[in-house]
Amino acid sequence: MAPFDLQALIGNSGSYFLYLAIGFGFGFILESSGFGDARRLAAQFYFRELRVIKVMFTAIVVAMTLIFWSTALGLLDYDEIWVNPTYLWPGIVGGLIMGLGFIMGGYCPGTSLVSMVTLKLDGMFFALGMVTGILAFGETVGYFNAFWHSGAMGRFTLPEFLHLETGWVVFLVVCMALVMFVGFEWIRGAIYGKAK
Amino acid sequence: MNGFLDMRVAGALILLLASVALALYGQPSLEQKWAFMAERFGPRLAERQVHIDPGELLALMNDHYIDLLIYDVRAETDWNWFHLVDSERVDLDKLAAQRDRLLALAENAVVVVVSNDEIAATEAWKRIMALAKPNAYILEGGLNHWLNIYGVAGEESGAHGETSLATPDGTLRHPFKLALGERHAAARPDERHAPQRDYTPKVKLLKKIARAGGCG
């Protein structure tokens, strides 16, 4: 039953190689999907270009469906998959800061790295700013430690929040994604006319 | 363009159907999860690798380097008659609520499940493993065995004697005079004066503990 202990199965070098291969594949897909272009990424916020939302949400709903089908069939132990613990208030503030950074800079952390390795100057500066921000956070977090740990809710996911069975939550999220795809296309058509 | 559109619609339909089927199929219950895991953990149970001697549990209770969590899964009446110091009573069907706590246990944590014999404790062990796979063990022979060894004659009705551990039926076989819970002497015997036992230690910590000594 997954997740497997990779170190035990294929050793340290084997698992590092696998991480490298997955990272390479992820970066390759991001770049091929056009996620290394800040203009394209930022355009989603104006409903001009919807591929980011479509690719990301398709990946999310497909992965989610596969994870919970695998769990249902006993192929995967979902409890052993790391889920970031929820810290509500810093999560909200962090989300706003990241969203602001995304819309201003045109990148999220992963796409800025994709852009950087394709030698785009804006990607390089964005990644440099991100590293500087990480450094500044690390050096100052002690001053707002209480806030950083506020709203701790542990491993808190949508089924607990909605008090619904996991399968029905998966169904609702898939519906939400599909409605969003259609709805955003409609909004884009209404604002910019039919896509060529 | 039409072909691409058809593919997108087909993909969306497949995803939608898969999610509806998943909602109807449901996620595994603890019993089903254990059935999935039985191949991996079942042999440990069958070979009694997780059944620890009362002497080993007593040593754990006195080891301050270990974060010991004792779950007592008996009925409240039995709990009121007698229970181990620092143990926590949890109903079998409410063990699932312990999931987050079990998942957050430190590497020096040891979970021991106790019941009157091994029947309820074994069921609880399976559920606990299905919940979080902690470093969990079962008290060998249950509290009836524990009281056979560490019980005090004056606390029981009639003379304290060893009760038979054969044909376990889930009941507490030591009749106490008073329901004193953890105020019985046997709830935490003095390790120095308690009967010394030869046993094969079975508890393996997930992480080696650095035991500080002297004035360090």
pLDDT at B215 over 60: no
Does B180 map to a domain? Answer: yes
Q: Nearest Cα to B131, choosing from B167, B170, B92?
A: B92
Phi, psi angle pair for B87, to nearest 5°? -80, 160
C-alpha pair distances (Å), A20 with each of A16, A82, A99, A131, B191? 6, 19, 28, 21, 53
Count up the domains in chain A and report the number.
1
What are the residues whose beta carbons fall under 8 Å from the beta carbon of B83, sequence distance 6 or more?
B72, B74, B89, B143, B181, B182, B187
- Tell me the pLDDT tens digit for each residue of B114-130: 999 999 999 999 999 99
Q: B131 touching A, CB under 8 A? A: yes
Question: What is the reported pLDDT for A193?
Answer: 82
Q: Which residues of B touch A79 (CB under 8 A)?
A: 99, 103, 131-132
A133: left (phi over 0), alpha (psi -120 to 50) or beta: alpha
Q: Which of B18, B33, B37 sits opposite A65 (nearest CB)?
A: B18
Q: How far apart are CA A11 and CA A18, in angstroms?
A: 11
Q: For residue A95, give the amino acid letter.
A: G
Q: Which residue of B has its CA nearest to A181?
A: B12
Letter string b/e over residues A128-159, b meaning 16 or more CB atoms within 10 A of that residue's CB:
eebeeeeeeeeeeeeeeeeebeeeeeeebeeb
Predicted ipTM of the assembly? 0.86
Per residue in B10-48, pLDDT (tens digit) is: 999 999 999 999 999 999 998 899 999 898 899 999 999
Which of A120, A125, A76 minimizes the C-alpha distance to A101? A125
Q: How confident is the model at residue B209 (pLDDT cuts 50, 70, 90)?
A: low
Give a yes or no: residue B212 inside a domain: no
d(CA A79, CA B99): 9
**Residue of B186, B185, B189, B140 whose CA lies nearest to B165:** B140
Q: Note the pTM of the prediction, 2 decimals.
A: 0.79
Angle at A153 between CA A149 and CA A154, to 5 degrees: 95
Residue with tokens 């497949």: B14
Contact B28 A62 (CB under 8 A): no
Q: Is residue B129 part of a domain?
A: yes
Q: What is the mean pLDDT of each run of 10 residues along chain A (196 residues)?
A: 88 95 93 90 90 90 96 91 92 94 91 93 95 96 95 90 95 96 93 73
Task: Say which residue, A23 or B214, is predicted with more confidence.
Answer: A23
Work out the burial of residue B76: count CB atoms within 10 Å of its CB; fewer than 13 is exposed, 13-18 middle, 19 or more buried. exposed
Identify the band that residue B213 occupies on the pLDDT scale cut at 50, 70 and 90: low
Is B149 inside a domain boundary? Answer: yes
Query: For residue B19, which residues of chain A lie inside 8 Å, CB to CB?
Result: 61, 65, 167, 170-171, 173-175
Q: What is residue B50's three-state secondary structure?
A: coil
CA B177, B183, B188, B193 torsion: positive or negative? negative
Nearest to B22 among A72, A77, A80 (CB): A72
DSSP single-letter state for residue A120: -
Query: For residue B19, is it within any domain?
Result: no
Cα angle A169-A173-A176, degrees, rounded to a multiple of 5: 140
Residue of chain A with shortest Cα separation from B22 = A167
Fill in the amino acid letter for A71. T
Residue with tokens 């992963």: A110
Domain total in chain B: 1
Contact list, A5 vs chain B (CB under 8 Å): none
Nearest-by-CA chain A residue for B134: A80
Out of B15, B35, B131, whose CB is closest to A174? B15
Numbered residues of chain A with Cβ closer than 8 Å to any chain B Cβ: 1, 58, 61-62, 65, 68-69, 71-72, 74, 77-80, 154-155, 165-168, 170-171, 173-175, 178, 181
* Residue-range definition of the domain harbouring residue B102: 30-186
CA A103/CA A112 separation, integer angstroms = 13
Query: Token pair 């029905």 is at which residue?
Result: A168
Task: Select from A171, A180, A185, A194 the residue whose CB has the most chain B CBs within 10 Å, as the one to mutate to test that interface.
Answer: A171
The domain in which residue A123 lies consists of 10-83+101-128+152-192
**Residue A140: inside a domain, yes or no?**
no
Q: Does residue A161 form part of some domain?
A: yes
Alpha-carbon distance B74 to B110, whole Å? 19
Q: Is the pLDDT of residue B3 over 80?
A: no
Question: Nearest C-alpha of chain B: how many angstroms from A93?
Answer: 25
Q: What's the CATH code of the domain at B54?
A: 3.40.250.10
Amino acid identity at A154: G
Q: Is the pLDDT of residue B108 over 50?
A: yes
Facing residue for B23 by CB, picked from A74, A77, A168: A168
What pLDDT does B216 receive?
45
Whether residue B204 is contained in a domain is answered as no
Distance (Å) from the C-alpha of residue B126 to the closest C-alpha of chain A? Answer: 15
Residue B50 counted as domain residue: yes
Whether the Cβ atoms of residue A157 and residue A64 lie closer than 8 Å to each other: no
Q: B24: which chain A residues are within 8 Å (Cβ-Cβ)?
A: 167
Which regions of A62-139 does DSSP assign to beta strands (E)? 86-87
Please report the pLDDT score of residue B172 as a whole number: 92
